[in-house]
A and B are shown apart, each in its own frame.
Chain A
Amino acid sequence: MSPSEPAGVGSKAWNVVFSGYFVLLLVYLLLPLLIVIPVSFGDDQWLQFPPERLSLRWYKSYFSDSRFVTATVTSFWIACVVSALATVIGTVTALGLSRARFRGKNVLYGFIIAPLIIPIIIFALALFILFNQLKMTGSVFGLILAHVVLALPFPVLIVSAALQQFDTTLERAGRILGATPFRVFWHITLPYLTPAALASAIFSFFVSFDELVIALFITGRWDTLPKRIWSDLRLEIDPTIAAVAAILIAITLVGITGGELLRRWAMARSANQLSMENNAA
């Protein structure tokens, strides 16, 4: 073997095997989701693939069902508020973490990530007990705050990663040239962080928009979209859900592609800056 060849599994045969395997894995991960889309355009009470006749029957049934529409609107605006709050608080936290010097910073980091790692059912149970005690069961505000806690790790992680590659000499230059720290932040740091913050906002939106377990425990009588889907799926499986699912899959596809491209852009920008510096040095 020549030394330049990638070690171990560099050979052509391996490459084919690996590629084939990866494709199969993608089929496993994606096909069930993709099948929902054509099925949702069927006309039959029993879901069929491929559907015999195409129709928008289940979409009509979704948009004319006021319980579904109300739940969708509720989930949407809650997710927007959560996204804004989590992004602002997460960005502020990431800035604080990158600037503050104190012992136990890693502990704090772990603490912020913890809601993502702990089994969600335990977090939901804990919130249920808290809100029950505060007589806040059914409070929209409570759900929003809970979702912010759940979404917070994403802004903190994404913005921290961008900050790690941020060239602080830019800030220092601004300061030396006489700008106040606020001006420096507003004109240098904030524009730099915009793509990372936007990516955070998108991911946080989906954390809240798709969240079922906490909503199930603490919302009481009113419905969010996941809660509505959940109760429908448990009673009888109405093909209307197929239309809802297809819409959600499409929204996720667009949103996550956008979010991921923004995140990559944020990282690539910092990397370019870094390599330019290295070249200059």
Chain B
Amino acid sequence: MFSQLNQMLSGRGALLLLAPAILLLGGLFAYPLVKVLTTSILDPDFTLAHYQRVFDRPVYLIVLYRTVQVSLVVTFLCFLLGYPAAYYLAHCAPRTRVYLFLLILLPMWTSLLIRSYSWIVVLGKNGVINLLMIQLGLITEPLQMLYTTGTVYLAMVQILLPVMILTCYSVMIKIDEGLVRAARILGASPWRAFSHVYFPLSLGGVATGAIIVFILAMGFFVTPALVGGRHDLMLGNLIETQINQTVNLGFASALGLLLLATTIAIVMLFRALIRMRVVHEPV
């Protein structure tokens, strides 16, 4: 047994070290995903009935459309708010950075449920903001802020923002500042040096961050269910209902694949756009 172990560690048997992960992922990730596909079309014979049902009633496509729309807006807002923050993080003193980094990691690693719940505490009818405004005499009746679309955006952006910031930061920290200085010395204005040198160099991080945030947003269902209204349900909520209440596996699988296919299609489109921009961008 020891000689085998020795062999594995010395490099010849290194592939064996990968076996546990490959088995685990094959059995519990790849195989079940294939099962989703087969469940959606076999019942037990080949059928497209589940997909037909998706397209027969407009509600599913409307929810899909809303899911995409919310995810795109959330992604864009995360970029808008996260990019300057990542820039600041990449350019502040290293000593301060450690602490700021921690302050961004803390909300990122706090349970998604708790983060959604905290918005209920802040925005609810008896929530912190309503009570404060009533005490200050700004309003007499509590405002309805919870269970609105705006709150879904507010909470989703807050939840996904750290992912965007950290992804952008990891690319920005590797950018050679000398290039920006060179542009400035050659007469470029600060804005031009940023937009023509720095930003294109950081675009890789922005693209990765945006793709991850978008994919995660597409699969959300906890936050819309807790802080959104009836009209803010996303495709994830419908899938959850199919599993936990209706227990219609075939139809849930069809919805799941619809979500996955739409997500992949948009990500590929986005990547193609980014690549085109990078190629055509005059440097």
Contact = CB atoms under 8 A, between A and B. Distances in A.
Given A48-B131, A133-B35, A29 B110 contact: no
B226 interface: yes
Given A32-B119, A129-B253, A181-B9, A226 B111 contact: yes
Given A126-B33, A128-B243, A249-B110, A36 B117 contact: yes
B14 A125 contact: no
A122 interface: yes
B21 interface: yes
Nearest to A249: B110
Contacts, number: 271
A216 B88 contact: no
B84 A21 contact: yes
Nearest to A145: B28
B138 to A, nearest CB: 16
B190 A9 contact: yes
What range describes how many residues of A lie at the interface?
A: 35 or more
A217 B98 CA distance: 38
Question: Chain A's interface: helix, strand, loop or mixed, by majority?
Answer: helix
B236 A121 contact: yes
Interface stretch (A54-62, A66-74, A106-114, A269-277): A106-114
A180 interface: yes
A46 B127 CA distance: 9
B177 to A, nearest CB: 6
A58 B114 CA distance: 16
A191 interface: no
B198 interface: yes
A234 B190 CA distance: 51
Nearest to B18: A96
A206 interface: yes
Given A33-B107, A206-B109, A256-B109, A119 B24 contact: no
B105 A260 contact: yes
B9 A185 contact: yes
Contacts of B110: 33, 210, 248-249, 252
Nearest to A130: B32
A173 interface: no
B226 A119 contact: no
Interface of B: 2, 5-7, 9-11, 14-18, 20-22, 24-25, 28-33, 35-36, 39, 81, 84-85, 87-89, 91, 98, 100-107, 109-122, 124, 126-128, 131-132, 158, 161-162, 177, 180-181, 183-185, 190-191, 193-194, 198, 212, 215-216, 218-219, 221-222, 225-226, 236, 239-240, 243-244, 249, 252-253, 256, 259-260, 263
